[in-house]
Amino acid sequence: MLLRGERLGEISEDVLEFISSREADRWIYEADLLVDRAHLVMLKERGLITPEEFGEIVAGLDKIDEENLGEGEDVHEAIEAELISKVGAVGGRMHTGRSRNDEVATCIRIVLREEVLSLMAEVNGLAKALVERAAENADSIIPGFTHLQHAQPTTLAHHLLAHADTLLRDFERLSDSYPRINRSPLGAAAFASTGFDIDRNRTAELLGFDGLIENSMDAVSTRDFLLEALSCSAILMANLSRLAEELILWSTSEFGYVELDNLFTSTSSIMPQKKNPDTAELVRGKTGSVFGSLVSALAICKALPMSYNRDLQEATPNLWRGISLTRGAVTIMAGAVSSAKFRCDRLEAASGAGFSTATELADSLVRKTGIPFRTAHQIVGALAVKDERPTIRDLDEAAERIAKFRPSERGFGEDELKTALDPNENVALRSKIGGPAPKETRRMAADRKSRIEENERLVGEMRGRVDQALESLREMR
Ligand code: ARG
C-alpha cells in the first residue's frame, strides 16, 4: 500500500475491499495511463521535472501491465505504486501538483466521451435501419392505433419513421451533452488547485479536451456530466422500449404482423414449438436497469457538500452499467429491425378493421355535403354501432335521423362511400407534411437518410479530433 505509510499504517482486507474501486476501475485503466502521460509532459514542459526524469518515468509507465498491478484502493494508487517499484523514487514525482480527485474525474470523462461517441454511432445506425425498412414499405398499408385500438389506416413507412425520428432526437441529446463531458478537470488537484506552476490548458489539449472545467472546486466535485449521460441513456431506453414492446406484440399470433429473425429469438426448454422474442423482451427489461442506474447515481450525488466526497466513487459503476446496457440494447435492436419480416398481407388485411376508415367517411361527408364536422361525426358514430360495413342506405337513414338530410341526394353516393372506406384511399389523401401518404413518407425517408449521413460525418469528426490528440500523446517519450 503506497499511501497509508506511518500516518495510517496497515489496512485490513475487509476494509480495503469495502473502500476499493478496483473492480470498476477496469474501465479507466487505459485512461489513467494517458492522464499520467499528459501530466508528465506538462510537468516537463513547465520545468517541474527534468527531461531525464520524464524519460525514466514514461519508460516505466510503458512497462506497466494491468495484469500485474498490486493492491491499492484504486487504480491510481496501484499504477503509481507499480511505477515506483519499476523506476524507484523518481516515480514519486509523477503526482506533483495533482490529486486522485482531479485524476479520476478526468479519467471518467475520457472514457465516457468514447462511450457516448460509440452510442451516438449506434443510435444513428438503428435510425438508419428503421429508415431503410421504411423506404421499402412506403406503400405497405397497416392499421394505425390509438389506445391500442384500431384507429386509422396508415403505412408501415410512417410507423417506422416515427421511431426513427424519435431516435434521431436521442442522437441530438447525446450530441448536445458531449461538449459538457469533454472538458478537463485536470490540474484542479484535490480541489484548491496547486501552487506548482502547472498549465491546465496544456494537459487539456494533450488529452483532446475542448476546454476546462475551470473552477477547481467544481472540477473535482461535479458528476453532472455523468448524470446527463445517464439521463440521455434512460430517455433513449424509454423510447427503445416502445419499439421493443411493439415487436413483442406484433409477433404474437393475435397480431401476426411481424416475424423476428431466428437469431433474435429463443425457444422454450419444454414447449418445442416456441419462438419467443427474447431480445426485444430484454430490451424492455434492461430499460428498467438503466433507469435504476440513473436513479442510483442521482441519489448518490444528491446533497453532497463541496467538494470531493468518497461517495462519488459509488456513482461511477452506475454510469458504466447504464451506458453499456444502453449500447447493447441499441445494437441488438438494429439487428432485429434489419432482419425482421413484416407480414404485409396481414397488416393490409387488418388496416380497415374496426371501422378504421370512419374518420375519413366523416371528413368526406363534410367535403361533399358541406355539413359541419360534428354533425358528420354523429352520423358516422351511429353507423359504428353496427358491426357490418355501412351501406349507402345505412348512411342515408342515420343522416336523416340525426341531421334531416340524405347524403345520397347531396352528391355523396355509392362511389364516394366506397372511396371513403378504402384504406388505400385514406392513406393517399393524407399527403400533408408529416402524413402517411407514400409520397410524403418517401420524402421524409430521403430527408432522414441525408441527416443520418450527416450524423455519421459528425461522429467521425468528433472522434477524429480525440484520436488525433491521443495518438500524438502516446508517441511522446
Ligand atoms: N477511487 C476514487 C473515485 O473513484 C478516487 C480516489 C479519491 N480518493 C480520495 N481519497 N480522495 O472517486
Query: 454 and 312 in one domain?
Result: yes
339/268 same-domain check: yes
How many angstroms is it from 299 CA to the middle of ligand 1? 18
| 439 assigned to some structural domain | no
Q: Is residue 22 part of a domain?
A: yes
Same domain, 248 and 315: yes
Supply the pTM of this predicted model.
0.97
Is the same domain home to 292 and 227?
A: yes
Q: What's the number of domains the chain is made of?
A: 3
Q: Which of 68, 96, 124 is the last residue of a domain?
A: 96
Q: Are residues 77 and 128 in the same domain?
A: no
Per-residue model confidence as pLDDT tens digits over 425-474? 999 999 999 999 999 999 999 999 999 999 999 999 999 999 999 999 99
Last residue of a domain, one of 96, 118, 141: 96
| Residue 316 CB–ligand 1 contact under 6 Å | yes
Cβ partners under 8 Å of residue 30, min gap 6: none
Is 434 inside any structural domain? no
Same domain, yes or no: 448 and 338: yes
For residues 311 and 448, membership in a common domain is answered with yes
pLDDT digits (tens, 9 = 90+) for 344-380: 999 999 998 999 999 999 999 999 999 999 999 999 9
Which ligand 1 atom minimizes the distance to the CA of 308?
11
Amino acid at site 66:
E
- Looking up cell 468518497 gives 310
In a domain, 138, yes or no: no
Give the distance (Å) from ligand 1 centre to CA of residue 17: 14
CA angle 74/299/191 to nearest 5° reads 50
> pLDDT digits over 59-95, tens only?
999 999 999 999 999 999 999 999 999 999 999 999 9
- DSSP letters along 312-372, please? HHHHHHHHHHHHHHHHHHHHHHHHHHHH-EE-HHHHHHHTTGGGTTHHHHHHHHHHHH---
Compute the distance from residue 224 Cα to the ligand 1 centre, in Å.
Answer: 17
For 82, the domain range is 5-96
- Is 462 a domain residue? yes
Residue 476 domain flag: no
Closest listed residue to residue 135, CA positions, set 402, 443, 376, 460: 443
Examine the domain organization and report whether 228 and 321 are in the same domain.
Answer: yes
- Domain identity same for 283 and 374: no
**CB of 307 closer than 6 angstroms to any ligand 1 atom:** no
| 210 in any annotated domain | no
Domain final residue pick, 44, 71, 96 = 96
pLDDT per residue of the chain (477 residues) written in tens, 0 to 9? 799 999 999 999 999 999 999 999 999 999 999 999 999 999 999 999 999 999 999 999 999 999 999 999 999 999 999 999 999 999 999 999 999 999 999 999 999 999 999 999 999 999 999 999 999 999 999 999 999 999 999 999 999 999 999 999 999 999 999 999 999 999 999 999 999 999 999 999 999 999 999 999 999 999 999 999 999 999 999 999 999 999 999 999 999 999 999 999 999 999 999 999 999 999 999 999 999 999 999 999 999 999 999 999 999 999 999 999 999 999 999 999 999 999 999 999 999 899 999 999 999 999 999 999 999 999 999 999 998 899 999 999 999 999 999 999 999 999 999 999 999 999 999 999 999 999 999 999 999 999 999 999 999 999 999 999 999 999 997
Residues 315 and 381 in one domain: no
- 151 part of a folded domain: no
Looking at the structure, tell me whether residues 375 and 294 fall in a common domain: no
Q: Are residues 122 and 269 in the same domain?
A: yes
3-state secondary structure of 146: strand
74 lines ligand 1 (CB under 6 A): yes
